[in-house]
């Protein structure tokens, strides 16, 4: 993903996280599935919190007006081009599958919807909004997806109605983007307090018996702690990271790679999955400082978002041709598809987005002495 969850740096790290999600949806590769899907996504949330805190403070909070509008427009323009292309390609692949006489799980469940339910699902699939809620829903007798405490007990789960299933996390991202221009003006102490409240929500859910996916993984109030961990890391550690030894970045990356390879061995230990993204937040500023001017690392990292979005479509295509879906085959085929999306869709639209953003930033009056509450 990109710091959206996916920025322009931390490239190798972001690609490893995206590969973790790919392997979670296929099989281990060379004996490892890296950090697994859940930990990878929550580490992406940490990167997103770090990156949003940085761009808001360095760009958007300096604007005299239109901070929220400009920020949201920029974020949406960064996410949507690749996403919409993959949605369209998924619909074409589904049509091809049906034409070959193969069954489509998406269409089977979509046929159970009422006109209102179908409209809700269509809007969610196009806009990303509410896709996280689909993980908590089942299709009711009235043909409308309804949120329930125990969605896994039903075969008619709302998550089966997602054209791009991993996009639920993009919906969680959108929630954070909506809040970020307000949240990230608050003091660091306040952000820590909100993070602890998010942790409290997680604990309450566990005591309530909701200690399983989707409640432990896709519920924004309990996931907010990871975004805020990244934001707080930006505020407290970035200055120190710029003064680090030349070997700190490579050493940290080496440690992260080793942890990723052996993670399967420790992931079952209670608390490890939750603690890993928070510990990762401590490393992000130093890794960012090391990679921020590395063009190769930037390009490698830009593959992470297309890879994250397209890999299940690639799996669908492989399956339609009766080709094996293993960690190796899905990774290689998805990397090719991601590179095509990056070159033909992402980079061209990003140049347009950046030109428009630069023009807005140039033409909008700047505050003479911008003050970010959290930097005091």
Nearest Cα neighbor of 42 from 235, 341, 318, 273 is: 273
Note the pLDDT tens digit of each residue in 175-207: 999 999 999 999 999 999 999 999 999 999 999
Burial (Cβ within 10 Å: 0-12, 13-18, ≥19) of residue 65 = exposed
Side-chain-side CA neighbours of residue 7 (13 Å):
23
pLDDT at 376: 41
- Angle at which helix 220-241 crosses helix 188-207, to 10 degrees, equals 140
- Whether 65 is in a domain gets the answer yes
Q: Which residue has the tokens 């159970």?
A: 112
Determine, yes or no, domain membership for 5: no
Position 163 scores a pLDDT of 96
Per-residue pLDDT, 370: 47
**Looking at the domain assignment, is residue 53 inside a domain?**
yes
Residue 336 CB contacts under 8 Å (≥ 6 apart), including other chains: none
Q: How would residue 241 be classed by pLDDT, with cut points 50, 70 and 90?
A: low
Domain count, the chain: 1
Residue with tokens 């820590």: 192
User: What's the rounded Cα separation, in Å, for the pair 325 and 337?
Assistant: 15
Between 2-6, 50-54, 147-151, 234-238, the lowest mean confidence (pLDDT) is in: 2-6
Which range marks the domain in which residue 62 is found? 11-98+167-375
| Residue 349: predicted pLDDT | 96
Angle 59-60-62 from CA coordinates, rounded to 5°:
80
Residue 249 pLDDT level (bands cut at 50, 70, 90): confident
Q: Which of 373, 375, 360 is nearest to 185 (CA)?
A: 373
**1 — pLDDT class (breaks 50, 70, 90):** low
In the chain, what percentage of residues exceed pLDDT 90? Answer: 67
Pairwise CA distance, residues 157 & 306, whole Å: 26
Mean pLDDT of the chain: 90
pLDDT of 37 strictly over 90: yes
Nearest to 50 by CA among 344, 287, 352: 287
3-state percent breakdown (helix, strand, coil) of the chain, nearest 5: 70, 5, 25
Contacts of 56 (CB under 8 A, 6+ apart): 67, 71, 180, 181, 184
pLDDT of residue 5: 43
Residue 60, both tokens:
């958007």
pLDDT attached to residue 152? 81
Confidence (pLDDT) at 226: 98
Q: 97-106 pLDDT, tens per residue?
A: 888 888 888 8
The whole-number pLDDT of residue 369 equals 58
Query: 349: helix, coil or strand?
Result: helix
Burial class of residue 243 (count of CB atoms within 10 Å of its CB; 0-12, 13-18, 19+): exposed
SS3 372: coil
SS3 63: strand
Residue 253 has pLDDT above 80, yes or no: yes
pLDDT digits (tens, 9 = 90+) for 124-170: 999 999 999 999 999 999 999 999 988 888 878 889 999 999 999 99
Q: 141 in a domain, yes or no?
A: no
Of 213, 134, 120, 206, the C-alpha closest to 170 is 134
Name the pairing type of β-strands 137-139 and 145-147: antiparallel
pLDDT, residue 212, reads 86
pTM over cut 0.95: no
Task: Select from 40, 117, 131, 17 the least CA-distant residue to 79.
Answer: 131
pLDDT at position 245 is 67
Give 216-237 pLDDT, tens digit per residue.
889 999 999 999 999 999 999 8
pLDDT band at 74 (very low <50, low <70, confident <90, very high): very high
The answer to whether the CB of 65 falls within 8 A of the CB of 243 is no
Examine the pLDDT at 239 and tell me if it is beyond 80: no
8-17, 147-156, 366-375: least confidently modelled range? 366-375
Measured at the CA of 132, the angle between CA 280 and CA 222, to 5 degrees, comes to 45
Give, rounded to a whole angstrom, the gap between the first and last alpha carbons of the chain.
31
Cβ atoms within 10 A of the Cβ of 5, count?
30
278 found inside a domain: yes
pLDDT band at 6 (very low <50, low <70, confident <90, very high): very low
Q: How many CA atoms lie within 13 A of 11 on its CB side?
A: 16
Please tell me the predicted confidence (pLDDT) of residue 243. 67
Do 233 and 285 meet the contact criterion of CB atoms below 8 Å apart? yes
């Amino acid at each position: 993903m990109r710091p959206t969850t996916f920025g322009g740096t931390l490239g190798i790290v972001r690609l490893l996280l995206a590969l973790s999600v790919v392997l979670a949806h296929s099989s281990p590769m060379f004996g490892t599935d890296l950090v697994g899907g859940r930990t990878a996504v929550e580490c992406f949330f940490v990167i997103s919190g770090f990156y949003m805190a940085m761009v808001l403070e360095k760009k958007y909070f300096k604007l005299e007006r239109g901070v929220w509008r400009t920020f949201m427009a920029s974020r949406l323009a960064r996410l949507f081009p690749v996403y919409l292309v993959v949605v369209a390609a998924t619909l074409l692949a589904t049509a091809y599958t049906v034409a070959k006489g193969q069954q489509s799980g998406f269409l089977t469940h979509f046929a159970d919807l009422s006109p209102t339910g179908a409209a809700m699902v269509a809007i969610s699939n196009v806009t990303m909004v509410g896709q996280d809620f689909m993980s908590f829903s089942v299709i009711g007798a009235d043909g409308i997806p309804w949120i329930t405490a125990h969605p896994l007990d039903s075969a008619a789960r709302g998550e089966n109605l997602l054209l791009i299933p991993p996009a639920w996390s993009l919906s969680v991202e959108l929630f954070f983007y909506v809040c970020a221009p307000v949240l990230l003006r608050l003091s660091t102490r306040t952000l820590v307090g909100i993070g602890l409240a998010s942790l409290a929500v997680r604990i309450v859910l566990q005591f309530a018996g909701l200690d399983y996916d989707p409640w432990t993984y896709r519920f924004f109030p309990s996931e907010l702690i990871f975004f805020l961990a990244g934001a707080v890391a930006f505020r407290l550690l970035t200055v120190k990271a710029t003064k680090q030894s030349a070997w700190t970045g490579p050493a940290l990356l080496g440690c992260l790679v080793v942890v990723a390879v052996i993670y399967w061995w420790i992931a079952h230990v209670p608390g490890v999955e939750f603690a890993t993204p928070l510990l990762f937040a401590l490393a992000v500023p130093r890794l960012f400082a090391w990679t921020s001017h590395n063009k190769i690392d930037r390009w490698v990292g830009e593959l992470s978002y297309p890879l994250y979005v397209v890999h299940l479509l690639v799996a669908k295509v492989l399956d339609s041709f009766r080709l094996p879906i293993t960690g190796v085959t899905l990774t290689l085929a998805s990397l090719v598809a991601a590179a095509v999306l990056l070159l033909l869709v992402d980079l061209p639209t990003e140049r347009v987005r950046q030109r428009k953003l630069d023009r807005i930033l140039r033409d909008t009056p700047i505050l003479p002495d911008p003050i970010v509450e959290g930097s005091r």
